Structure 1
Amino acid sequence: MTSVIQSPYSSEQIAAWLRGLLTIAWADGNFDEQEKQLIASITQDELAPNVAWDSLEVITPEELAAVLGKNTPTAENFLRTAVMVAIADGTYSSSEDQVLHQLCQALGEPEDILSALRQTLTDPQPLNPALAAPKAPAADVLDPLRDWLDELDIQDPRVARFLCKMIPSQCPFERDVTLFGRKIVHIPPLCKINPLYEQLVGIRFRALSYLADECKEDVSPYI
């Protein structure tokens, strides 16, 4: 897939960006086969078609900073997409928190946003007490996080395609799981699980608009 837009990112930066997102996806140990196939498809078809999937490995914070720079717009935009990957399923685990904490330090970015995540998103395991922040009303702590995510600057069609594929196109319907005619669990809509779901949908819409308006691409496959 080609684009008329000249990306501000080099191929090396995109490859490092992708490895960073994979590092987040693998952080909680719940990287299932479906997720693997999804990211493999995005990798091979759109983000880095010349990079073999089997060769992709996690990246250290120091390696990522060496490629993306420290305290740069590129580093900040990467962190926005990394946070998005971490919260896409509505949960924020302590392992994801640890990885993002290390990335923020290496990339020279403030950790205020992580403090908001620690206070609002569900985590089945207790967060690191040394990193935990005092509790505050959810409506208050989420506002800076929403504003920060809204500042994601989409300047690369490969990143835009990743966002369109990674973020669901609509809030999945709630449903009951039954066994032998008896309800055993109720699954609520994702938009109710994830308090930032509407923000993610907004980012997806901006990515679609960028591909359609700036890159003149056919976005029907993502709708």
Structure 2
Amino acid sequence: MTIAVKSPYSSEQISAWLRGLLTIAWADGNFDEQEKQSISAIAQDELVGGMNVESYETITPEELAAVFGKNTSIAENFLRTAVMVAIADGIYSPSEDELLHKLCEALGEPKNLLESLRHTLENPQPVEAASGAASSLIRPVKPPIEALNPLRDWLDGLDVEDPKVARFLCKMIPNQCPFERDVKLFGRKIVHIPPLCKINPLYEQLVGLRFRALTYLADDCKEDISEYI
């Protein structure tokens, strides 16, 4: 049985929030077929019924600021979820970095929140490659552990308070650490990709956020969460 839970946010704010997260998800332009289907389902289920994902319109930082205001609690919580979506696949891209910094400026949040995250972009480490093989373009993020501690604490401060946002997070964050794998060409290993939990220094924050979203849906909203497990 599902019960109606009063969200502290308006329908306009939640719509803008989800459009903003989808804009972040779209930022690096890297989607396999499963990701496209997942994002399409989110757009249809959590935004406007029947929305065509191909015609989806992104939202600008300025439009988000007009809805959220500057230096507000909802702006900060949105930015937390935006960071989570940006690093959910373990790779922090230049396009995601640029967009997140524009969001910080528009929403009145200090840009230094993301400096440690930018460190993962500027100091990538190549994954293990087979002997004699060219360096891989797939780069796990592995900054010094202590450099990310302030960002970890800030991300852990997010409370899940809206069913649509909770469902979005449950769909976007993987329910388990993807297995490591070897990429082979003509039967020869050219690169080894470690599991996501090894290459993403914020993986524990992602898992914790997903758990809080699941708990909120199950305990507060009385929703069946079996589809997310």
Q: How does 1:8-19 map to 2 (within 5 A)?
A: 8-19=8-19
Q: Say whether residues 1:37 and 2:37 are aligned partners.
A: yes
Counterpart of 1:160 in 2: which secondary structure?
helix
Which consecutive residues of structure 1, in runs of 5 or more, have no partner in the other structure?
Answer: 125-136
Identity among equivalent positions (%) equals 75
**1:4-47 CA deviation, whole Å, 9 max, x = no partner?**
211122221122112211221222232444322211101212x1
Match of 1:209 among 177, 198, 215: 215
Counterpart of 2:183 in 1: which secondary structure?
strand
Letter of the 1:16 partner, please give it: A
Q: How does 1:1-223 map to 2 (within 5 A)?
A: 3-45=3-45, 47-50=46-49, 52-54=51-53, 55-121=55-121, 138-223=144-229
Letter of the 1:61 partner, please give it: P
Question: Displacement, 1:165?
Answer: 1.1
Partner Cα distance (2:206, 2:102) in 1:
23
Question: Displacement, 1:51?
Answer: 6.4
Residue pair 2:18, 2:165 contacting (<8 A) in 1 also = no
Counterpart of 1:101 in 2: which secondary structure?
helix
TM-score by length of 2: 0.84
Letter of the 1:192 partner, please give it: K
Partner Cα distance (2:90, 2:101) in 1:
19
Letter of the 1:26 partner, please give it: W
Partner Cα distance (1:105, 1:2) in 2:
38
Pairwise CA RMSD of aligned residues?
A: 2.0
Letter of the 1:50 partner, please give it: G
Partner Cα distance (1:63, 1:117) in 2:
24
Letter of the 2:82 partner, please give it: A
Which consecutive residues of structure 2, in runs of 5 or more, have no partner in the other structure?
Answer: 125-142
Aligned length: 210
Counterpart of 1:177 in 2: which secondary structure?
strand
Counterpart of 2:64 in 1: which secondary structure?
helix
Counterpart of 2:223 in 1: which secondary structure?
coil
Counterpart of 2:190 in 1: which secondary structure?
strand
Residue pair 1:164, 1:207 contacting (<8 A) in 2 also = yes
Report what 1:132 is aligned to: none
**1:64-99 CA deviation, whole Å, 9 max, x = no partner?**
111112111111111011101111111112211111
TM-score by length of 1: 0.86
Residue pair 2:2, 2:221 contacting (<8 A) in 1 also = no
Partner Cα distance (1:88, 1:173) in 2:
15
